[in-house]
């Protein structure tokens, strides 16, 4: 009899616990409703890509020395470097260069290793096409510069979450000159320089403290 009551109590406890968890879950969902939608109304609003965004690759034909380093470092040997040896000058003559963005994984290896810096990554990500063959960009297409989101008059640029001012969650209606949370790389550099100066002074003191710590152990 007692064990039966024990079972019933346990059962009731389980049920109450389940109801409790459910209520907590509901509270979380309910709390989400008062937050602002994070929707970006895409064709009219666009996020500003970050500085290191790895988008479509830009290529400068005139800088290229046809060394094929980019082909070797590419995981799938993607770039096509079409050159011929000019017997007279004993130099490579570049005829054509192309990258197929239907196959590229935007890893950035080619950009990293190019000895002449003729490759670079842009912030362009709208590569949709009706035909996959038109994703194979030749040197002319690769040489085009993308329209920046911030300069396009038909688009409202929005800052990404990490670039919003402190305490601000909504990218709409933020004054242009308001700086992002935290420090810009330049400011960090300045800070580090000034710290370096003061650190040099403190160095001696620190060292003695350090030695003291050791001896205490």
Residues near other proteins (CB under 8 A) are 15, 22, 25-26, 28-30, 32-33, 35-39, 41
Near ligand SF4 by CB under 6 A: residue from 46, 56, 74, 123:
74
Contact status: 78 vs ligand SF4 (CB under 6 A) = yes
Backbone angles phi, psi at 138, to 5 degrees: -95, -175
Question: By C-beta, is 32 or 201 nearer to other proteins?
Answer: 32
33 binds, among ligand SF4, other proteins, none (CB under 5 to 8 A by kind): other proteins
Cβ atoms of 143 and 118 closer than 8 Å: no
Near ligand SF4 by CB under 6 A: residue from 67, 80, 135, 149:
67
32 binds, among other proteins, ligand SF4, none (CB under 5 to 8 A by kind): other proteins
Contact status: 143 vs ligand SF4 (CB under 6 A) = no
Question: By C-beta, is 29 or 215 nearer to other proteins?
Answer: 29
Q: Which stretch binds ligand SF4 (CB under 6 A): 23-31, 109-117, 151-159, 197-205?
A: 109-117
| Alpha-carbon span 39 to 180, nearest angstrom | 20
119 binds, among other proteins, ligand SF4, none (CB under 5 to 8 A by kind): ligand SF4
Q: Which stretch binds ligand SF4 (CB under 6 A): 1-9, 75-83, 133-141, 169-177?
A: 75-83
Contact status: 69 vs ligand SF4 (CB under 6 A) = yes
Contact status: 106 vs ligand SF4 (CB under 6 A) = yes
One-character DSSP codes across the chain = -HHHHHHHHHHHHHHHHHHHHHHHHHHHHHHHHTSPP----TTTEEEPPPTT---SEEE-GGG-----HHHHHSTT---EEEEEEETTTTEEEEEEEEEETTT-----HHHHH-TT--EEE-S------SSGGGGEEEHHHHHPPPPPTTT-TT-EEE--GGGSPTT----TT--TTPPPSS--HHHHHHHHHHHHHHHHHHHHHHHHHHHHHHHH-
Q: By the criterion CB under 6 A, which residues form the site for ligand SF4?
A: 64-70, 73-75, 78-79, 81, 99, 104-110, 114-116, 118-119
């Amino acid at each position: 009899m007692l064990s039966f009551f024990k079972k019933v109590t346990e059962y009731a406890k389980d049920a109450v616990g389940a109801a409790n968890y459910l209520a907590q879950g509901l509270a979380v969902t309910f709390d989400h409703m008062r937050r602002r939608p994070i929707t970006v109304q895409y064709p009219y609003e666009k996020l500003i890509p970050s500085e290191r965004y790895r988008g479509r690759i830009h290529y400068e034909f005139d800088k290229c020395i046809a060394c094929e380093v980019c082909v070797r470092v590419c995981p799938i040997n993607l770039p096509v470097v079409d050159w011929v040896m000019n017997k007279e000058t004993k130099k490579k003559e570049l005829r054509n260069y192309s990258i197929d963005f239907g196959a590229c994984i935007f890893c950035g290896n080619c950009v990293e290793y190019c000895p002449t810096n003729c490759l670079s990554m842009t912030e362009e990500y709208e590569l949709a096409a009706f035909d996959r063959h038109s994703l194979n960009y030749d040197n002319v297409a690769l040489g085009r510069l993308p329209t920046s989101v911030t300069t396009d008059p038909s688009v409202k640029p929005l800052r990404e979450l990490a670039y919003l001012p402190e305490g601000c969650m909504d990218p709409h209606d933020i004054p242009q000159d308001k700086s992002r949370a935290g420090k810009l790389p330049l400011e960090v550099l300045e800070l580090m320089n000034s710290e370096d100066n003061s650190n040099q002074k403190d160095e001696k003191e620190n060292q003695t403290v350090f030695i003291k710590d050791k001896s205490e152990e």
